[in-house]
Chain A
Amino acid sequence: MINKIINSSSLISDVSDLKENEYIKDFPLLNNMAEGKKRLVYLDNAATTQKPLSVINAVKEYYGHYNANPHRGAYGLSSKATQIYEDARECARRFINAKSSEEIIFTKGATEGFNMIASSFGEDFICSGDEILLSIAEHHSNLIPWQLVAKKKGAILKYMYTEPSGEITTKEITDKINERTKLVAITHVSNVLGLINPVEEIIRRAHKVGAVVVMDAAQSIPHIQVDVQKLNVDFMVFSGHKMLAPMGIGVLYGKKKLLDNMRPLLYGGGMVESVTEQDTVYAEAPYKFEGGTQNVEAAYGLMKAMEYIDDIGYDKIAAIEDKLTAYAIEKLEEIPYITIYVDRRQGKGTGVISFGIEGVHPHDVSTVLDAYGVAIRSGHHCAQPLMNHLGIHACCRISLYFYNSMKDIDCFIDAIKNVRRWLGLGA
């Protein structure tokens, strides 16, 4: 299967040998030196990505030229700021192929999106005895809000479990979704497993029993096309900073008919139609969910990030990442004391590889790698129930993006081969 991945990517002629990467020049931070004059090898992209110059410049440009409070002042500058903010909303609509820009709510990130759905939809529409179904691989941000809803409403929290290969089987889906299922919260791609979940199948099954589906696209949308109409998903959430955009901006997509019936989460300025001494008429979606002054410069940055991804194209991004992932797995598998926790050859995934080194705690692995200029993540990755399910306390994770190169993987592998020596465990 590894060979197959390599073959299929090499069919795309514009993926060079990836010794050097043609995109790295757009990312100032990646061209700076790491401590000790080693080049920074950044392999923690599932946590946050680096930003291209076009995004960095957008934030600067916004404050240099366009800054005013959107939707407030009746003067030229405020109109310009409003236009930028609404252009960014339209860009996000196009990017995920939503039917209308009224279905695009800007948040400060995925976490806020999930909390908003849990409070404004979950608490009003989920009743005692209803079932809320999650996958065991959910990030804490798409898990804790549902625990709270379940406790508050007397609903039952259930889980779909992954196989040792990392997959969620059709049997697991059909076994767990039933007439009592009211809501399914599922990640498109897990930040630990890196596999693309069968969300189409889950959404179809859920809709058959009248359940609403909340999809976490934080780990998928940086890597693969997400079309909300094709998926027919009810709610979808993602963060900008994991897809080249600034921190503090994210998108909550919701079907209009659902958003129209939901109450706001934050009450205050910018989200009202009219206010009297005793009563308030709220604005329509998306504005009723955007109380307070929004992160306009980050929305502008998100627009530039989406344009950057569009320019490269998801096909090319996938081709690069598939090739790098296959190469990294091949190299890791040559090392006898490495365990890769997911069989990444089973299905198509993103550039996430979770692994462990025999006898060495993940935290020590990342400390040693850091000294070699290689940034990886170690820990429970905000997915403790999944760690439990996998039977481990913590793991190491590399997560690749299209600006990584074979050279990055070679540096990583060289560093990995030194870890056990530093911990006094021989070669």
Chain B
Amino acid sequence: MELEDIYTQIIIEQSNSKKNKRRLENPTIVLEGKNPSCGDEIKLELVIKDGVVADASFTGVGCAISQASTSLMIDLVKGKPIETAMELSDLFIRMIQRKTVNESELEPLEDAVALMNISNMPARVKCATMPWHTLTQALK
């Protein structure tokens, strides 16, 4: 496993980006996610309107992988219907678990595919999946 394959340009940009890291004024759902082993903590805020994820943001601290994964997730699900967001979350988790490796099947994940290599790093898998598990939990 080379560092280039883990800390890719997209991941580095997203982990240092502040654009999704903010508080929402009137979130309809707020849920915390944690990786106790690593110390990653996020607070996911969502505005659900007419069955659609109208807005999303997060705050918190954590490793580059968890922060980038959260940010990429928010980019992806914002503006999408709840069912689609749930499907994307499921697809992402299957990608990290290497249950889905087919490139065309993974296409809907867009930039979040950049985290695929984390599947080769057992110690960091939870960092990548934690925000998506939190999202699934929040939308249930």
B31 within 8 A of A: no
Q: Within the complex, what minimum Cβ distance (angstroms) separates A386 from chain B?
A: 13
Of residues B13, B38, B65, B123, which shows the largest number of chain A Cβ atoms within 10 Å of its Cβ?
B38
Q: What residues on B are CB-neighbors of A360 within 8 Å? A: 64
Interface hit among B1-9, B43-51, B82-90, B92-100:
B1-9
The answer to whether the Cβ of A158 comes within 8 Å of any Cβ in the partner chain is: no
Contact residues of A between 361 and 414, Cβ < 8 Å to B:
361-364, 367-368, 371, 379-380, 393-394
Q: Is A422 a contact of B3 with CB atoms below 8 Å? A: yes
Residue A12, interface by CB 8 Å: no
Is B39 an interface residue, CB under 8 A from the partner? yes
Asked whether any CB of chain B lies closer than 8 Å to the CB of A424, the reply is yes
In the complex, the answer to whether B37 meets A422 with C-beta atoms within 8 Å is: no
CA distance A422 to B9 in the complex (A): 10
**Main DSSP-derived SS at the A contact region:** mixed
Cβ-based interface call for B69 (8 A): no
Q: Indicate the member of B2, B3, B127 with the most A CB atoms within 10 Å.
A: B3
CB distance from B32 to the nearest CB of A (A): 14
- Cα(A422)–Cα(B11), bound, Å: 11
Interchain CB contact under 8 A, A363 and B16: no
Once A379-B37, A394-B39, A424-B13 are accepted as A-B contacts, the answer to whether A361 and B64 lie under 8 Å apart by CB is: yes
Alpha-carbon distance A198/B76, docked complex (angstroms): 55
Count, chain A residues at interface, CB 8 A: 16
Contact with A along B12-53 (1 / 0, CB 8 A): 110110000000000000000000111111000000000000
Task: Report if B62 contacts A (CB, 8 A).
Answer: yes
- Main secondary structure on chain B at its contact with chain A? mixed
Decide if B61 touches A361 in the complex (CB within 8 Å): yes
In the complex, A425 has a CB within 8 A of chain B: yes
Provide the residues of chain B in CB contact with A379, threshold 8 Å: 37-39
- How far does the alpha carbon of A26 sit from the alpha carbon of B10 in the complex, in Å? 45
Does A209 lie at the interface of the complex (its beta carbon under 8 Å from any beta carbon of B)? no
Instruction: Report how far A379 CA is from B6 CA in the complex, Å.
Output: 19
Q: Does residue B63 face the partner (Cβ distance < 8 Å to A)?
A: yes
**B97-140 vs A: 1/0 string, CB under 8 Å?**
00000000000000000000000010110010000000000000
B61 touches A425 (CB 8 A): no
Contacts of B39 in A (CB 8 A): 361-363, 379-380, 393-394
Known A371-B3, A422-B3, A424-B16; judge A393-B61 contact (CB<8 A).
yes
Interface residue from A364, A371, A393 paired with B64 (Cβ < 8 Å): A364
Residue of B nearest to A384 (CB): B36
Q: Which residues of A contact B40 (CB under 8 A)?
A: 361, 363
Identify the closest chain B residue to A366 (Cβ): B123
Contact between chains at A363 and B127 (CB < 8 Å): yes
A364-B64, A364-B65 known; A424 vs B12 contact (CB < 8 Å):
yes
Beyond A361-B61, A380-B39, A394-B39, whether A368 also contacts B12 by CB under 8 A is: no
Interchain CB contact under 8 A, A364 and B63:
yes
Query: Known: A380-B39, A394-B38, A394-B39. Contact between A367 and B6, CB under 8 A?
Result: yes
Q: List chain B residues, Cβ under 8 A from A281.
A: none
State A360–B62 Cα separation when bound (angstroms).
Answer: 9
A423 to B65 CA separation, bound complex (whole angstroms):
10
Chain B residue nearest to A393 (CB atoms) is: B39
Chain A residue contacts of B12, Cβ below 8 A:
423-424
Which of A367, A393, A394 is within 8 Å of B124, CB to CB?
Answer: A367
Which A residue sits closest to B7, measured CB to CB?
A: A422
Per the bound structure, the CA–CA distance linking A23 and B124 in Å amounts to 34
How many angstroms from the CA of A364 to the CA of B39 in the assembled complex?
12
A364 to B123, CA, bound (A): 11
Q: Which chain A residue has the least Cβ–Cβ distance from B9?
A: A424
Contacts of A367 on B, CB cut-off 8 Å? 3, 6, 121, 123-124
Known: A363-B124, A423-B7, A424-B12. A371 touches B1 (CB 8 A): yes
Residues of A that sit less than 8 Å from B by CB: 360-364, 367-368, 371, 379-380, 393-394, 422-425
Q: What are the 9 closest A-B residue pairs judged by CB atoms, nearest first? A: A394-B39, A424-B12, A361-B63, A393-B39, A363-B63, A371-B3, A363-B38, A364-B64, A364-B63
